[in-house]
Amino acid sequence: MTRIRSIVRGIGSYLPTRVLTNQDLEKIVDTSHEWILQRTGIEERHIVAEGETTSMLGIKAAQAALADAGLQAQDIDLIVCATSTPDFTFPSTATQIQSGLGITHGAAFDLQAVCAGFVFAVSTADKFLASGSHKRALVIGAETFSRLLDWNDRTTCVLFGDGAGAIVLEAAQGEGTAADRGVLTSHLRSDGRYRDKLYVDGGPGSTKTTGVLKMEGKDVFRFAVGMVTDVVRDAFAATGTTADDLDWFVPHQANRRIITASADKLGIAAEKVVITVNKHGNTSAASIPLALDVARKDGRIKDGDLVMIEAIGGGFTWGSALIRW
């Protein structure tokens, strides 16, 4: 049965110019390049400049995605921005990006699912497009996690980085099969019982401060692999596909060990796994579109390729989406 699919028209990303290496971190906290690399796979991350905000990163990523799609800003009628580091409590970062792009029509809103934000945003935009209410969406993951970190806490400050990525999704007619281009399926989960495993200890409705990131790293690790493999299997089941059908596995880039353990458990061959955590660190909602952009620009992801994205974030929130490029 024919149905509307959200096809990927373009992709872009932006990383702040300043690179913070593990060696630089050795001068800030009691850590070592070897410890960080061995436990996380991270070598360096990008950090925003003074005055550079999440929406500024998001605007640059969106402009790159529009250029890649050969579209004008005016062609967009929906902006969904996944972020946990908005410029302000309100208005939303999405409306700042909308304004920066010169768009005055359509709708723009933020979506907050921490590191799973981009998967939630893809799923949300897909449902808007499939309903027929909107035609072309900018789906953005943009973060300045460096501003949420306690730079005296070596257990967290070495893990994260800043950046933004964006895709343009466009409504198009599909056949309703797994051979269609576009978002084929998405699966979202949340369980608020785990809030204290990964959280920020402030907010406008509680402390009236921004707060800093707190994490029970070992617990997050323990839950992450089981949760993400569950939702990836849901995506396979919903589409009648298997790990062998995948061309690329593009997981949230939090930690190389979580990524390889998840791929192993799912039976996904190592050469199909896109890893950028070494160069970007964990950029939360931005990590998947940043990784997708790297793999698209270096020629790995080609038109027609089957791409699985998945992520887990604070809450916990977790999800997967299967996309034929």
Residues that bind ligand ACO (CB under 6 A): 31, 35-36, 39-40, 115, 154-155, 158-159, 198, 215, 217-218, 220-221, 254-255, 258, 282, 312-313
Distance in angstroms (rounded) separating the CA atoms of residues 141 and 57: 10
What is the smallest separation between the CB atom of 272 and ligand ACO, expressed in angstroms?
Answer: 21
The residue (of 174 and 315) whose beta carbon lies closer to ligand ACO is 315
The residue (of 69 and 111) whose beta carbon lies closer to ligand ACO is 111
What is the smallest separation between the CB atom of 311 and ligand ACO, expressed in angstroms?
Answer: 7
Query: Does 105 qualify as catalytic in the annotation?
Result: no
What is the smallest separation between the CB atom of 18 and ligand ACO, expressed in angstroms?
Answer: 20
The residue (of 99 and 278) whose beta carbon lies closer to ligand ACO is 278
Assign residue 79 a region (left: φ > 0; alpha: ψ between -120 and 50; beta: otherwise): beta
Contact 301, 248 (CB under 8 A): yes
Distance in angstroms (rounded) separating the CA atoms of residues 118 and 141: 6
Q: Please give the torsion angle defined by the CA atoms of residues 96, 98, 100 and 105, in that order, rounded to the nearest 10 degrees.
A: -130
The residue (of 11 and 113) whose beta carbon lies closer to ligand ACO is 113
For 80-105, b where at least 16 C-beta lie within 10 A, e where not — what string?
A: bbbbbbbbeeebbbbbbbbebbebee
Q: Count of alpha carbons within 13 Å of 269, Cβ hemisphere only?
A: 8
The residue (of 32 and 210) whose beta carbon lies closer to ligand ACO is 32
Distance in angstroms (rounded) separating the CA atoms of residues 145 and 149: 7
Contact 5, 54 (CB under 8 A): no
What is the smallest separation between the CB atom of 211 and ligand ACO, expressed in angstroms?
Answer: 16
Query: Does 115 qualify as catalytic in the annotation?
Result: yes
Return contacts of 205-214, CB within 8 angstroms, 24+ apart.
210/147, 210/148, 211/148, 212/148, 212/149, 212/150, 212/153, 213/145, 213/148, 213/149, 213/150, 213/156, 213/160, 214/156
Query: Does 152 qualify as catalytic in the annotation?
Result: no
Distance in angstroms (rounded) separating the CA atoms of residues 44 and 80: 28
What is the smallest separation between the CB atom of 320 and ligand ACO, expressed in angstroms?
Answer: 14
Contact 143, 164 (CB under 8 A): yes
List 22, 46, 115, 255, catalytic entry: 115
What is the smallest separation between the CB atom of 179 and ligand ACO, expressed in angstroms?
Answer: 32
Q: What are phi and psi of 62, to 5 degrees?
A: -65, -40
Residue in the shown chain whose Cβ atom is closest to ligand ACO: 217
Q: What are phi and psi of 15, to 5 degrees?
A: -120, 135
The residue (of 137 and 158) whose beta carbon lies closer to ligand ACO is 158
| Residues with a known catalytic role | 115, 252, 282
